[in-house]
Amino acid sequence: MIAILFATGQNPAFHGLDDSLPTPLLPLGDRPFLQHVIEFLARAGVRRFEFILSHLPEKIEACLGDGARWGCAFHYHLVPSVGDAFRQARTIAAGTKDDVLLASGSSLPAFELADLTPGAMLCSEGLWTGWGFFGAGAPLPASLESGTPAGSLPDGLNAVAVERCLSIETGEELLRSQRECLDGSFPGLMTGGRQAEPGIWISRNVVLHPSATLQAPVFIGENCRIGKGAQIGPSAVVGANCIVDAHSSVVNSMVAPGTYVGEALELESVIVDRNRLVNVRIGASFLVSETFLLGNLTMRAPGRPLERWRDRLLALLLLLFLWPVLLVSWLFLSFVKGEKLTTREALALPADTDPTNWRSVRLLLIAGAGRPGRAGQFFREFLPGLLSVLTGNVFLVGVRPRSRREVEAMPPDWQSVYLTTKAGLITEADTMFGPDATQDEIYTGEAFYSATESAWHDLRLAGLWFWKLLAGAGKNTSGIAGDFENL
C-alpha cells in the first residue's frame, strides 16, 4: 500500500499565520501536525509515502527528510498550484500496482486501516476529511476537495463516518485538536516531555516560577520560561523556546515556538506566533509592533551589545566635543535655509528574513534638498545622527539606513546581504565612492562591508571618511570649500 498525502497551499482561515510556515507544519502538542499523520500511518504499516507539495515545499522536505527515521520511503512531488494536486495524485496512482490511501496533511481521522474497503471515503460530521481508500488499479476521481458533503461524493465511493477527527483547517479546529491531543481523547498520538500531573506535560529545561499555575490540559515545550504569577491552561500549548512573562494568562490558546508573551497579557482562544495574533472567535489577525507585548525570540539578537555600547560611548564623546558645531549648524540651517530637524524611519538591523518580524526605528536628521557633498552629509545627517547612535537605534559605521519599504523593494540577493549586517551613519559606499554613489557602487560597498565587517575595519573606514571630509578628496566632489558653498 502507498499513501498519497496532500500537503499543499496556504489556508486563508489562518490570516497569514502560515505565510512563513506551511499549514501542515503547524504544531500539535510538541510536533508538527503532519508528523502525527505520518506516525499514525507508519504504525498502521504504511511504508511508502508520496507527498504532493505546493506552498513552501522546501520546509516540509527539510522537516521530514527521506523518511528513514520512521522506516519509510518518502517521495516529493511539486505542483504549481493547489488545483493541480489531484491531477498529480491520479498520475501517481495510475503508475502503481498497490492499493492507494489518499491522506490529508490537515486532518487525521481515527480509523483502523484493516477495516477499510475499496471506495471508502472517511467523513466527519457529514463532510469528507480528505482521506479515502482505493484498490489497486482503481482510478481516482478527476477532482475532489476535502470538505465535500458526504452526499455529493462521486458514484462508486462510499461515505464512512468516523467518530473522531483532528483537523487544522481553521484556527478553532486547531485549538480543539490541541485539547484532544492533550487530554488523550484521540487515540494513538505521541507526546513528548514528562507528565508532571495528569494532563500536564512539561518538557526538559523549563523554568517555572513557583507562583505560576498550570491547569490541565497543558503542554509546555522545552527551554521555556514561565514568569511570576502566570496562568497556563486549561487547554493551552506553549511551544519550545518561549517566554510567558509575569502575570500573563494563556487559556484555550496556542503559543507558537520562539514567541515572547509580555507581562499581564490575557490570551484566550487565540493563536500567537511571535508578533502575530489570530483571534479565532472573531476570525481576525493582528500584527503587534510593540515588542514588549509580543515578540520573536528566534531572531538573531539585534543588539550586538558590545558594539552598540562601544558606539554609544564614542557618540557621547563626539557630541561632547562637537555639540557647539551641531547647535550652530542647526540654527544656520533652520533660520537661514528654512530646514527642520526631523526624523525618518529605518529598519532595525540585523533583521529576520520574515518581514512580519521586522522592527523600525527613528533616525534624527536635518531635512534638506538632497545630499550636497560630504559637508552637507556631515551637517545634515552625521551630527544629528549621533543622537540616534546614543539611543541605540543605529551604529556609527554600517550599511546605509533604509525604510521598510526600501528594503522590501531590494533585489532578493541584495536584501539577504543587507538584513544580516548593521546600519550606520558612515558607510563603505559613501566612503569609497562618495555621497552620490550609483546603485551598483552602493551594492558593491554593502556586499563588501558585510563580508569584511570587524571592529578594525569600522575604525579604518571611519578614519578614511573623516580624512576625505576634511581633505575634500572624495569622488565627485570639488573640495570641502565647494561643499560648504552648497549648504
Does pLDDT of 62 surpass 80? yes
Q: Which pLDDT tens digit goes with each residue over 148-182? A: 898 889 888 999 999 999 999 889 999 999 999 88
Instruction: Give backbone dihedrals phi and psi of 207, rounded to 5 degrees, phi first.
Output: -100, 115
> In Å, what is the CA distance from 298 to each residue of 250, 257, 259?
20, 8, 8
Percent of the chain's residues with pLDDT above 90: 39
Q: Quick count: other Cβ atoms within 10 Å of Cβ 173?
A: 17
What average pLDDT does range 358-386 have in this prediction? Answer: 77
Q: Specify burial of residue 107 (Cβ count, 10 A radius: 0-12, 13-18, 19+).
A: buried
Does pLDDT of 368 surpass 80? no
- Domains identified in the chain and CATH numbers: 2-167 (3.90.550.10), 192-296 (2.160.10.10), 305-486 (no CATH)
Are 13 and 170 contacting, i.e. CB atoms less than 8 angstroms apart?
A: yes
H or E, element range at 273: strand 270-273
Q: Quick one: cell of 341?
A: 530637524
Q: Which pLDDT tens digit goes with each residue over 214-247? A: 999 999 998 899 999 999 999 999 998 899 999 9
Whole-number pLDDT of residue 275: 86
Write down the pTM of the prediction: 0.64
Between CA 457 and CA 376, with CA 397 as vertex, the angle to 5 degrees is 125
Q: Which pLDDT tens digit goes with each residue over 317-328? A: 988 988 888 888
What average pLDDT does range 115-121 have in this prediction? Answer: 92
Q: Which own/partner pairs from 370-373 qualify as long-range (CB within 8 Å, at least 24 positions apart)?
A: 371/435, 371/436, 372/483, 372/486, 372/487, 373/435, 373/474, 373/477, 373/482, 373/483, 373/486
CA atoms of 471 and 29, how far apart (whole Å): 64
51/393: higher pLDDT: 51
Contacts of 271 (CB under 8 A, 6+ apart): 14, 17, 171, 174, 175, 253, 254, 256, 277, 278, 280
DSSP readout, 41-107? Answer: HHHTT--EEEEEE-SSHHHHHHHHTTSGGGT-EEEEEE-SSGGGHHHHHHHHHHT-SS-EEEEETTE
C-alpha torsion 382→388→392→397, nearest 10: -10
